[in-house]
Amino acid sequence: MRRKDKQINDPHELVSIIRSATVCRIGFSRNDVPYIVPVNYGYQDNCLYFHSAPEGRKIDIIRQNNRVCFEMETDVEVVESESPCKWSTKYRSVIGYGKAAFVEDSEQKKMAMDIIVAHYGAAKHDYPVNQIGKLAIIRIEIESMTGKTSGF
């Protein structure tokens, strides 16, 4: 990271950002063509979870290349100045890398859904078997991540 003064090194602060953010952007790549998707997500034990329809572009890409990048931010605020060239943005962010894998077991899918809905403040649910069967649940095992803060 170029600006070491903005780097977040504390793993607890990185997890705090992950737990506070509401949207995770996941970057995929196929044939050197990037593809970024914002998703609802959950975090537990150094893994991100998100759900999807069982078919589509991101599913096809994961099957070919399971290496992903992710980004999330929180506490974002534009800071105005007298000159537009001196405007800035306050934020705390995390960027990371990992490997995506499909969760196949129905009980593990339910656990992943509980992790996702808990991230947004909802209680555990009873998920009908036919609904769980129609979902693709993707787990990203985080291999590395860095954080950055500005304006705090």
Q: Which two tokens stand for residue 41?
A: 């997500």
Q: What is the pLDDT of residues 11-68, one digit of tens each?
A: 999 999 999 999 999 999 999 999 999 999 999 999 999 999 999 999 999 999 999 9
CATH number, domain of 32, equals 2.30.110.10
Q: What is the pLDDT of residues 59-97, one digit of tens each?
A: 999 999 999 999 999 998 888 888 888 888 898 999 999
Range of the domain at 94: 4-150
Give the predicted TM-score (pTM) of the model: 0.91
Chain centre distance of CA 14: 12
Phi and psi angles of residue 44, each rounded to the nearest 5 degrees, phi first? -160, 140
Number of domains in the chain: 1
